[in-house]
Chains A and B, each alone.
Chain A
Amino acid sequence: MNWAHYGTAVTAAFLASLVEFVEALTIVLAVGTTRGWRSALVGSAAGALLLALLVIAFGPVLQRVPIATLQLVVGVLLLLFGMRWLRKAILRSAGVIGLHDETAIFAKETALLEREPRAAWYVGLDGIAVAASFKAVVLEGLEVIFIVIAVGARGMLVPASLGAAAAGALVIAVGVALRRPLARVPENTLKFAVGVLLSAFGVFWIGEGLGWSWPGEDLALLALIPAFLAVSLAAVSIAKRTTAATS
C-alpha cells in the first residue's frame, strides 16, 4: 500500500461522488425552487440520515468478510459499475447517444413539480417536496456509498470516504452559492475518467481476489488506468467511424 493507492482511491471516490452529488443537487434545487426550501432541506436531511443509518448498520458486517472474498465481490461489482459508466461515456463522446444535460433535467423536474397540487402535509411541510428530495438524496447517496465501499476495499475506506466527503462539501458549497444546477460541470468527461478509474480498480481487485500476481504488484493499478484510457479512446474513435460508415 503506498501513496499511489491512496491518491487513486481519493481521486476515484471524489470524482465518482462528485457526479452523484451534482445529480442529487439538481433535483433538490428543483424542489427547493418550486416547492420551498424548508421541505426540500427536510427531505434531504432525512435522506442523509437514512444513509448514515445504513452505513452504521451494514458497515461492520464488511469487516467480517474474508479479504479475498471481499476483493472478488467488490471487484466484480466495481467492474460492472465502472464499465457501464465507461461504455456510456464512450457512446456519448462519440455522439452516439445524447449528453446528460443538468439544465434540461432541472427544467423537466421543475415543470413536473409545479404541476403537482400544493398541500400541507405535516407541520407546514410539503409532502411532495419532502418525498422528492428524500428520494434524490437516498438514490444518489446509495451510489456514493457503493463507490466508497468498492474503492475503499482493502483498508482504503478512510481515503475513499475523504474523497467522497470533499466532493459532497464542494457540491453543496457551490450549490448554496449559485442556487442553480451545476450545468458547467463537464459531466461526461468526469464519467469517462471515473469509468476508467473504477474499471481499473475492478480488474485489479478481481485479480487480487483470485490470488493472481499482477506484474509490478500494486503498481499494476497505475498501469491499468492508462491502459483502460487508451482502450476507451480507441473505442470512441471506432464508434465515430462506425456511425460515419453506416450513415
Chain B
Amino acid sequence: MNTIAAAVREVWGLFVEDGSFTAAILLCIALAVSVVPRSAIPPSWRAPLLFIALAFVLVENVRRSARATKTNPEKTKVQGQS
C-alpha cells in the first residue's frame, strides 16, 4: 500500500512541484484552447505566441522563486529529487 501511495505521489510530482507555476502553464494552455481560436490572432502567430507566453511564465516564476529563496535561505539547502 505504501508503495502504491509512493508511486502516486511520484507520478503527481512528475508534473507538479510549484503549484503556481503549474497553474500558470495550464492557464496558458486553457487560453490557447478556448480563447485563441475565437480571436483575431492570425493562424501563423498562434503557436509562436503560445511559446512566448510560456517563456514569460518560466522567467517570471524563476525570478519570483529566486527572490523568495533569498528571503528564506534554508531553501538553498534542499536537494530535491529528480
Contact = CB atoms under 8 A, between A and B. Distances in A.
Interface stretch (A83-91, A116-124, A157-165, A170-178): A83-91
Contact of B62 (A101, A199, A239): A239
B50 A142 contact: no
Contact of B66 (A85, A94, A206, A220): A94
Contact of B50 (A84, A94, A203): A203
Interface in A209-244: 210, 212-215, 220, 224, 227-228, 231-232, 234-236, 238-240, 242-243
Contacts of A94: 62, 66
Given A19-B82, A87-B18, A213-B43, A242 B58 contact: no
Interface in B23-65: 25-26, 29, 32-33, 37, 43-44, 46-48, 50-51, 54-55, 57-59, 61-63, 65
Given A76-B29, A104-B79, A213-B43, A139 B59 contact: no
B6 A135 contact: yes
Q: Is the interface of B mostly helix, strand, loop or mixed?
A: helix
Contact of B6 (A105, A139, A214): A139
A142 B7 contact: yes
Interface of A: 19-20, 23, 76-77, 79-81, 83-88, 90-91, 94-101, 104-105, 131, 134-135, 138-139, 142-143, 146, 199, 203, 206-207, 210, 212-215, 220, 224, 227-228, 231-232, 234-236, 238-240, 242-243, 246-247
Contact of A238 (B16, B59, B76, B80): B59
Contact of A138 (B3, B17, B75, B79): B3
Given A213-B43, A214-B47, A239-B63, 15 more contacts: A84-B14, A85-B82, A87-B65, A88-B17, A88-B80, A90-B58, A97-B76, A100-B79, A215-B44, A232-B58, A238-B59, A238-B63, A243-B67, A246-B67, A246-B71
B63 A242 contact: yes
Nearest to A208: B47
Given A97-B80, A143-B14, A239 B58 contact: no
Nearest to B14: A81
A80 B48 CA distance: 18
Contact of A96 (B16, B21, B51, B76): B76
A135 B80 CA distance: 18
Interface of B: 3, 6-7, 10-11, 14-18, 21-22, 25-26, 29, 32-33, 37, 43-44, 46-48, 50-51, 54-55, 57-59, 61-63, 65-67, 69-71, 75-82
A27 B66 CA distance: 31
A79 B78 contact: no
